[in-house]
Structure 1
Amino acid sequence: MRRPGSAWWTSPRPLWLIVALFAWLLATAWVRPLMAPDEGRYGSVALAMLHSGDWLVPRLDGLPFFHKPPLFYWIGAAAMSVTGPVEWAARLPSIIGAGTEAAALFLFLRRWSTMRQALLSTVVLVTTPFFFLGAQFANLDMLVAGCISATVLLAAGAALARERGEPWRALLAGAYLMAAAGLLAKGLIGLVLPGAVLVLWCAATRKTVVLKLALWLPGWVVLLAAAGPWFVAMQLKYPEFFDYFVITQHFRRFASSGFNNEHPFWFYVPVLAVLTLPWFAWVLVPRGKDDKDGKPRSRLSDVDWLMWIWLAVIVVFFSLPRSKLVGYVLPALPPLACLIAQRVLAGRAVEKLLPRMRATSAVAAVLCVACVVAVALYSVPPGTRLRLPAGQSVAPGDQVMMLDSYYYEIPFYWNLRQPVLVSDDWKAAATDTRDNWRKEIFDASRFEPARADATLIDRTQLAPVLCVPRTTWLVGPIASQLSNPWLGKAQLVAVNESIAAWRFAGSATRDPDCLGTPASAPAGAAVPSPPVPAPSTKWQ
């Protein structure tokens, strides 16, 4: 039952609120370049999907990239088909995930709790720096967090509605559809985590209806019809798909200690506490008294149980493996926001709280924007600033080669329509177990070896590729000239911090010795570099 109060609390307009949520999340999505490696990687894969016209197979440098399913790339490629390769379009999948998460939380609490709880929980969520930055980051974590959150809330809403004799089938069908989206966003966790939350909620509240709804046949038809075709198509086209995508990327990664970013079990506790300030500080404020009898409320409602179990499942699940990334725990933010809002409102008069809530909201919103600005100023990878001079661009017949490294942002910012050549020691890459660009590309090469042979060039076999009658644009560390003295024959066209770009004219006669050291340079002498051109202000 709604309590009387100010119009802000009692006259909601859900549609306008949801529009405002997306506007808030979009407001700063364009202000900073893509970060390496994640944003450059996922943005470039989405752009490659658009350019290639192959909307089934995600490709990294032209090779099948099955680290994750395609939903993120579908959304990003669709957006860039309208806008071109711009940052906010690359981040749109994350913004949609965040907006879905916030809207689902508001609508669920509006129906099954109080309007005050719904509004404050939503405000807490969208002004939490962790949530806001996650929505501004072009990787898969926020998109799957939105799918997981919507699945949990729709399924819980369906269970509560059925108990009360209200319409529930549309809600449950929506839950299965969002579970399918979670599968297409990041794999099995899109189904497993909501299932774990709901089963434990069923056990804690003795809602056997949840188990019945989990076996609802029409829902499984919806899920399989939405998510199944892509997985079946990939398995039929690539027989190794199941082993790589399911066994390696899910179970081996979860259990292994050989991957990067190892952290202790308790890692996510301080992450959640620090990155949700200033709202998390309310957890330290003593709970107020209940308005009716002056005693604190002790009995948990069905919604309370759902939020506590949801928070615990996400944090514990991602704390088990040794490899941990901050963004993994984003699905825990909606229940945490709800519990913080509950602590703020507990036994306190809203009219007296409003000034403090407005102040906290304002501080939190300013902190969100400040975090984006700080990232824009201090975390810009060199590849995003490596621009070609005015009047120079990669022509359709030109080839691009990266030397001893792969810069994910270059295909995005240069708007390349063809895969680049990558020069490296690929025999050594076969034994590399670390998570890095080399392992990602080498793993992708196993699915299409013939295509890989044309793009992955051993550093000892450069002459047959470069000594041809076509222009090659070379990108690599500026120190590449020390190990590749033939770069003295190339035109240095751009430099930014530690990386550079050269233009190599090739050989009109296919001279196999075109990479020989220039005759004018004595043996062992350093090859002088041409003057560095003035930086351009136009992306090519």
Structure 2
Amino acid sequence: MSIDNSYSPSGATLPLEQQRGPAYWLQRAVQGLGTLSGVSVGLLALLWFALTLGAYPLLIPDEGRYVGVALSMLESGDYLVPRLDGLPFFHKPPLHYWLTALSLKVLGVNFVGARLVPALMAALLIAGMHAFLKRHASQHHAGWTALILLSSPLLFGASHYANLDMTVAALISSCVLLGGHAALQMEQGRPYRLALMGLYATAGLAFLAKGLIGILIPGGILVFWLVGRGQWRILLRLFSLTGLGVLLLVATPWMWAMQARYPGFFDYYIVYQHFQRFLETGFNNPQPFWFYFALMPVATLSWTPFLFRRARGTGMQPDGLFAVRALMLSALLTVLLFFSIPSSKLVGYVLPAIGPWAFFLADTVIRQTQRDGEAKVARRAVWSLAVGVLLCLVAVVTMVVRPQVNSRELGRVLAAEYQQGDQVVFLNNYRYDLGFYVPGLMGVSVMGRWDDPEIMRTDSWRKELLEAASFEPQRGALTLIDRATLRQQLCRDSKTVFWLIGGPDAVRQSQVLNHAQRLYEDQRIALWRFDQDDHDFMCGGTPKVVQPKTSVLPDR
């Protein structure tokens, strides 16, 4: 199959009276985007995302958690074991942590360094879509798709959110596009081996970013696409023993290293995290089956009306793009259906579908141009672009003017007086992001009822810490303490300064806080200092050394 990349809609020139208006410049921008390379478009996208990456503090829990794990790697020099509060954290694979740690090392511990990885991955997704469509569809499809993605509120928000979702989406999208390119090259009798090896290598990276779905989702998309088109021979040729070796070389060494160090790793990481969690119902954000199907029109809100105009238009005419449309449809439906099965549905899971969705919007815009003329459609597109960009900027301004819960001010107060050797204790709460604002923060304990069986029944910070502690019980016993152990620690060494962090009303629940100095308080969190003077007043006498309890931690 040969694709004519010179494809252009009719009415290529706007009327003279329109040539210097917004519609004219938008059409010029789309044409310019179409002629650029995928790398150039990716760099433009990165610049657009990077402008506002540092505008507001880290959001908790997710940004604080994932950036905190990466920061612990950077500070400790141990890049092999992801750690949460010093405990092994195996909820997710390590690739995103490695990349974020590298970003923090290069750019420093700041908000831009913390969020650079999702911005890079969003730019990679746009660059990949552009390069693929420019090669296998048309410059107009590449340009319009890139423009729609750049102004998508969902993609813009994901590029500013330091968790794993954007990394996973970009790598899954890269797998699909590399596989699609290799298959189309095979059909056309052109070189394909480099793209094929890229497919397997990227699948290995996707596994290191999210686990098995990094292989299953792109694999399923390509299988459904080729089987649906009757391309059985091409499907068989995509299977490569050399490629499989590349995938295993990229994906498995870290797992084997963790299994060798922690014998229960495979059971927890593969069986529980990959299979049991997929079907269980006790996780956050349960939503109905149709949630993601309703979310997609919102993801590109300002461009979605084009779909309804297209529904009233003429039928599609043959243009040689059946294979490309079929691949995008397979990608869109596979992602939506796969993530609709679990009851827990987080918005970021649908990101691998945003590229194909934008393609169909771009395809609709181009076909409306054929029907209604370039000038009329371009005027509509100007409003769509303006509204999309405005929504993105309003979201940033809102986060600046009305910041979400974070520990920046708490961290500023603590960092001003914290010294190495001090002990920080959270009281029935936990702030993932505190270490980001307090350089060198160590010796953090969390007081709570860790023997409560309800902890393991729902997703929460308590469950994450308790599961992490099960891999290193001795360290866990020092980190996860109960009320009696805290009191013993406070009275054991009068020379240690304790920093106690809890809710503002915690003073009514703890006699200890009656003897401590409160240094910070907002509506959600407070900070107390407990030092030698407080020790003498509360404890008196000569303290006895008591070993911490270990029985509250489950066996792994």
Decide: shared fold, TM above 0.5: yes
Residue 431 of structure 2 is aligned to residue 407 of structure 1: yes
1:322 to 318, 343, 358: 343
Give matches, 1:329-408, under 5 Å: 329-348=350-369, 349-389=373-413, 392-408=416-432
- Amino acid of the residue matched to residue 476 of structure 1? G
Corresponding residue for residue 240 of structure 1 = 264
Check conservation: 2:310, 2:368, Cα contact below 8 A: no
1:250 to 270, 274, 277: 274
Percent identity for Structure 1 against Structure 2: 38
Give the C-alpha shift of residue 350 in structure 1.
3.6
Corresponding residue for residue 51 of structure 2 = 27
In 1: Cα distance, 2:296 partner to 2:40 partner: 29
Q: Helix, strand or coil: the match of 1:432? A: helix
User: Structure 1 stretches of 5 or more lacking a match?
Assistant: 517-540
In 2: Cα distance, 1:324 partner to 1:498 partner: 27
The alignment of Structure 1 onto Structure 2 pairs a total of residues equal to 512
1:36 to 52, 60, 64: 60
In 2: Cα distance, 1:42 partner to 1:184 partner: 15
Give the C-alpha shift of residue 281 in structure 1.
1.7
Deviation larger for 86-95 or 306-315? 86-95
Check conservation: 1:146, 1:331, Cα contact below 8 A: yes
2:322 to 283, 301, 318: 301
Residue 511 of structure 2 is aligned to residue 491 of structure 1: no
In 2: Cα distance, 1:382 partner to 1:496 partner: 11
- Amino acid of the residue matched to residue 224 of structure 2? L
Give the C-alpha shift of residue 73 in structure 1.
0.6
Give the C-alpha shift of residue 17 in structure 1.
2.0
Q: Helix, strand or coil: the match of 1:392? A: helix
Residue 179 of structure 2 is aligned to residue 158 of structure 1: no
- Amino acid of the residue matched to residue 514 of structure 2? G
Give the C-alpha shift of residue 165 in structure 1.
1.8
Q: Helix, strand or coil: the match of 1:462? A: helix
In 2: Cα distance, 1:510 partner to 1:362 partner: 65
- Amino acid of the residue matched to residue 356 of structure 1? R
2:334 to 313, 329, 332: 313
Residue 296 of structure 2 is aligned to residue 276 of structure 1: no
Q: Helix, strand or coil: the match of 1:475? A: strand
Corresponding residue for residue 552 of structure 2 = none
Residue 255 of structure 2 is aligned to residue 218 of structure 1: no
Q: Helix, strand or coil: the match of 2:451? A: helix
Q: Helix, strand or coil: the match of 2:287? A: coil
Render the CA deviation track for 1:242-298: whole Å, top value 9, x for unaligned. Answer: 1111111111111111222111111112222223201112111135878xxxx6327
In 2: Cα distance, 1:381 partner to 1:431 partner: 23
- Amino acid of the residue matched to residue 247 of structure 1? V
Deviation larger for 413-422 or 223-232? 413-422
Give the C-alpha shift of residue 220 in structure 1.
1.3
Give the C-alpha shift of residue 354 in structure 1.
2.8
In 2: Cα distance, 1:330 partner to 1:444 partner: 28
Give matches, 1:497-536, under 5 Å: 497-506=523-532, 513=539
Give the C-alpha shift of residue 111 in structure 1.
0.1
Q: Helix, strand or coil: the match of 1:492? A: strand
In 2: Cα distance, 1:186 partner to 1:142 partner: 11
In 1: Cα distance, 2:498 partner to 2:446 partner: 12
Corresponding residue for residue 125 of structure 2 = 101
1:67 to 73, 77, 91: 91
Check conservation: 1:151, 1:179, Cα contact below 8 A: yes
Give the C-alpha shift of residue 470 in structure 1.
1.2
Q: Helix, strand or coil: the match of 1:479? A: helix
Check conservation: 1:30, 1:88, Cα contact below 8 A: yes
Give matches, 1:99-178, under 5 Å: 99-178=123-202
Check conservation: 1:463, 1:514, Cα contact below 8 A: no
In 1: Cα distance, 2:384 partner to 2:219 partner: 34
User: Structure 2 stretches of 5 or more lacking a match?
Assistant: 13-26, 543-556
Deviation larger for 129-138 or 10-19? 10-19
Residue 36 of structure 2 is aligned to residue 13 of structure 1: yes
Q: Helix, strand or coil: the match of 1:286? A: helix
- Amino acid of the residue matched to residue 296 of structure 1? M
Check conservation: 2:53, 2:111, Cα contact below 8 A: yes
Residue 113 and residue 27 in structure 1: after superposition, are their counterparts in 2 closer, same or farther (change >3 A)?
Answer: same
In 2: Cα distance, 1:382 partner to 1:74 partner: 24
- Amino acid of the residue matched to residue 213 of structure 2? I
Check conservation: 1:382, 1:496, Cα contact below 8 A: no
In 2: Cα distance, 1:456 partner to 1:121 partner: 50
Corresponding residue for residue 464 of structure 2 = 440
In 1: Cα distance, 2:329 partner to 2:248 partner: 30
Check conservation: 1:70, 1:184, Cα contact below 8 A: yes
Give the C-alpha shift of residue 511 in structure 1.
9.4
Residue 252 of structure 2 is aligned to residue 228 of structure 1: yes
In 1: Cα distance, 2:541 partner to 2:329 partner: 65
Give the C-alpha shift of residue 431 in structure 1.
4.8
Check conservation: 2:455, 2:462, Cα contact below 8 A: no
- Amino acid of the residue matched to residue 12 of structure 1? T
Check conservation: 2:152, 2:388, Cα contact below 8 A: yes
In 2: Cα distance, 1:347 partner to 1:220 partner: 43
In 2: Cα distance, 1:49 partner to 1:210 partner: 43
In 1: Cα distance, 2:392 partner to 2:405 partner: 21
In 2: Cα distance, 1:254 partner to 1:346 partner: 40
Give the C-alpha shift of residue 430 in structure 1.
7.0
Render the CA deviation track for 1:321-357: whole Å, top value 9, x for unaligned. Answer: 1111111111110000000110111152445433332
- Amino acid of the residue matched to residue 342 of structure 2? P
Residue 52 and residue 511 in structure 1: after superposition, are their counterparts in 2 closer, same or farther (change >3 A)?
Answer: farther
CA RMSD of aligned residues (A): 2.3
Give the C-alpha shift of residue 312 in structure 1.
0.5
Render the CA deviation track for 1:43-71: whole Å, top value 9, x for unaligned. Answer: 11111111111101100000010000011
Render the CA deviation track for 1:285-317: whole Å, top value 9, x for unaligned. Answer: 135878xxxx63278600000111110000010
Residue 152 and residue 491 in structure 1: after superposition, are their counterparts in 2 closer, same or farther (change >3 A)?
Answer: same
In 1: Cα distance, 2:520 partner to 2:84 partner: 25
In 2: Cα distance, 1:247 partner to 1:274 partner: 34
1:458 to 482, 490, 512: 482
Give matches, 1:203-214, under 5 Å: 203-214=227-238
In 2: Cα distance, 1:129 partner to 1:492 partner: 41
Give the C-alpha shift of residue 418 in structure 1.
2.0
Q: Helix, strand or coil: the match of 1:123? A: helix
Residue 284 and residue 454 in structure 1: after superposition, are their counterparts in 2 closer, same or farther (change >3 A)?
Answer: same
Give matches, 1:465-484, under 5 Å: 465-467=489-491, 468=493, 469-484=495-510
In 2: Cα distance, 1:506 partner to 1:95 partner: 47
In 2: Cα distance, 1:315 partner to 1:139 partner: 20
Check conservation: 1:387, 1:494, Cα contact below 8 A: no
Q: Helix, strand or coil: the match of 2:338? A: helix
Check conservation: 2:56, 2:403, Cα contact below 8 A: no
Check conservation: 2:427, 2:447, Cα contact below 8 A: yes
In 2: Cα distance, 1:423 partner to 1:149 partner: 43
Corresponding residue for residue 537 of structure 1 = none
